[in-house]
Chain A
Amino acid sequence: MHISEGVLSGPVLASGAVLALAGTAIGLKKIDYDHIVHVSILASAFFVASLIHVNIGPSSVHLILNGIVGLLLGFAAIPAILTALLLQSVLFQYGGLTALGVNVVVMAFPAVLVHYLFRPLLGKSPTLTFVGGFLAGMVSIMLSSLLLGLALWFTDKNFFETSLTIIIAHIPVMIIEGIVTGFCVSFLLKVYPEIIPVKK
């Protein structure tokens, strides 16, 4: 989920950059040198997972999985997502520098929020784990598309229809991300529970 360059107004770009900077500073503070390798390689996995395309009818969408990154990393998700976005820009030219801050806010802030909202549900029972994962996946995409719409709307009130189109177009993505995140979290807790330390 990206907002392209050249669309947003100066104040929106500036607030995005400031928020992203603050979030990244907090995130970096929470990572110590014993964990930085772990965060880096999970960021690589996030980057690669976003290359996975899943079918939806005749078309396909790529996975985003910022929900999982949020559940796994908490605040450290902000620098991790920033890194992945920067690499996407450099390697694929998906975006440039000016909208990077806004894109970090759009993708990473919901990830941190779902960490605190839904992580307590994980590991209580198989059903609750799935539900927690599903909600984390769905809500993170929902909030991301909402933030994206807001960024456009703050730029110009005339963007209202465009924002609405973007949010509605993301409803199938929310459901798919929910299902995939739900299964993925259940799988992780079964196969390698150490990756998500949960309180029983």
Chain B
Amino acid sequence: MIEEKFAEGRSFIHKLDPKIRIIASIVLSFAAALCDNFYIALGYFIISIILITLAGLNRVDVLKRLKPLFWFLLMIWIILPVTFDGEILYRYHWLKITGPGVILSCNITIKSISILLVFTALIATMTIAALGNGLHRLYVPDKMVFLLLMTYRYIFVIEEEYKRLLRAAKFRGFKPGTNVHSYKTFAYLAGMLFVRASLRAQRVHQAMLCRGFNQKFHTLDDYPPNRLNSIFLMGISVAGLSLVIFEIMWP
């Protein structure tokens, strides 16, 4: 089931203007992604943990969301240390573990976790409607914002269609397996999703025109100016900038 688990909350982060949160998360993510020093990356990791704590998110839920990332990191840890060239730390017959491989794996692990945590704390804590609003006020083209909001709106409807089609297939004794019949069934199922999506789009478009749609979405949320916003953005910028300067100065 698709849900916006983190979007509801009453924390300090939830109260910030979406625009500010988008800018802060872009600044921090790119600063962290471009960092090559393990100790500096730890700094970003600490910032990301602080942000998650400020957002008051349930730690277990956050860890569950990171599961796909952990699988990816496991793959990195299996492949990189044995395939990288460099100083050999440990050798067992033909298998050798190299220093640079291990260092790079550590770096990737800490950086990818920090970036995802920053994203979770700042972006996943807003509804998609708020994200669209923030993007719009950051001068993202209207069409792009429209596409985002409209796609999000219909994901749930199409997911219901998918469940209905799958249920119907199961009632008829469909058991998925590794064979052409199963692939064909899933192909028809996906095809039916596209057909229903297209037909629904026509009806939705007509309905919108009937209601006087003039190519604009108006937002009902508004975010009164709040001193917290500028303080937060200032704090993030200072923290990010000092880490960047620290990395450049690092001997």
Known A-B contacts A13-B33, A36-B143, A93-B116; the reply to A55 vs B205 at CB < 8 A is no
Nearest neighbor of B123 in chain A, beta-carbon distance: A90
B144→A79 contact, CB < 8 A: yes
The residues of B that contact A38 with a CB separation of less than 8 Å are 198, 201-202, 205
Nearest-Cβ distance from residue A149 to partner chain B, whole angstroms: 13
A92→B83 contact, CB < 8 A: no
B112→A47 contact, CB < 8 A: no
A42→B197 contact, CB < 8 A: yes
A40→B150 contact, CB < 8 A: yes
A28→B111 contact, CB < 8 A: no
Nearest-Cβ distance from residue B16 to partner chain A, whole angstroms: 16
Q: Whole-angstrom distance between the alpha carbons of A161 and B118 in the complex?
A: 30
The residues of A that contact B198 with a CB separation of less than 8 Å are 38, 41-42, 192, 194-195
A5→B33 contact, CB < 8 A: yes
Stretch at the interface among B63-71, B87-95, B233-241: B63-71
The residues of A that contact B183 with a CB separation of less than 8 Å are 54, 176, 179-180, 183
SS class of chain A's interface: helix, strand, loop or mixed? Answer: helix
Nearest-Cβ distance from residue B205 to partner chain A, whole angstroms: 4
Which of B112, B182, B186 meets A6, CB within 8 Å?
B112
A contacts with B, residue count (CB < 8 A): 72
Known A-B contacts A48-B193, A91-B2, A179-B183; the reply to A37 vs B112 at CB < 8 A is no
Q: Whole-angstrom distance between the alpha carbons of A31 and B118 in the complex?
A: 33
Nearest neighbor of B178 in chain A, beta-carbon distance: A55
Q: Which of B190-216 contact A (CB under 8 A)?
A: 190-202, 204-205, 208, 215
A87→B151 contact, CB < 8 A: yes
B30 within 8 A of A: yes
Q: Whole-angstrom distance between the alpha carbons of A94 and B123 in the complex?
A: 13
B190→A68 contact, CB < 8 A: yes
B157→A44 contact, CB < 8 A: yes
The residues of B that contact A107 with a CB separation of less than 8 Å are none
B108→A7 contact, CB < 8 A: yes
Q: Which 5 A-B pairs have the closest CB atoms?
A: A6-B111, A6-B112, A40-B150, A183-B187, A45-B197
Footprint of A on B, CB under 8 Å? 2-4, 25-26, 29-30, 32-34, 65-66, 68-69, 72-73, 76, 79-80, 83-85, 100-101, 104, 107-116, 118-120, 123-124, 128, 131, 141, 143-144, 146-148, 150-155, 157-159, 161-162, 176-178, 180, 182-184, 186-202, 204-205, 208, 215
Interface contacts beyond A6-B32, A83-B148, A187-B192: sample of 5 additional A-B pairs, CB < 8 Å, sorted by A: A7-B108, A40-B150, A40-B151, A44-B153, A91-B124
Footprint of B on A, CB under 8 Å? 4-8, 10, 13, 24, 28, 31, 33-34, 36-45, 47-49, 51-52, 54-57, 63, 65, 68, 72, 79-80, 83-84, 86-87, 89-99, 156, 158, 160-162, 165, 176, 179-185, 187-188, 191-192, 194-195
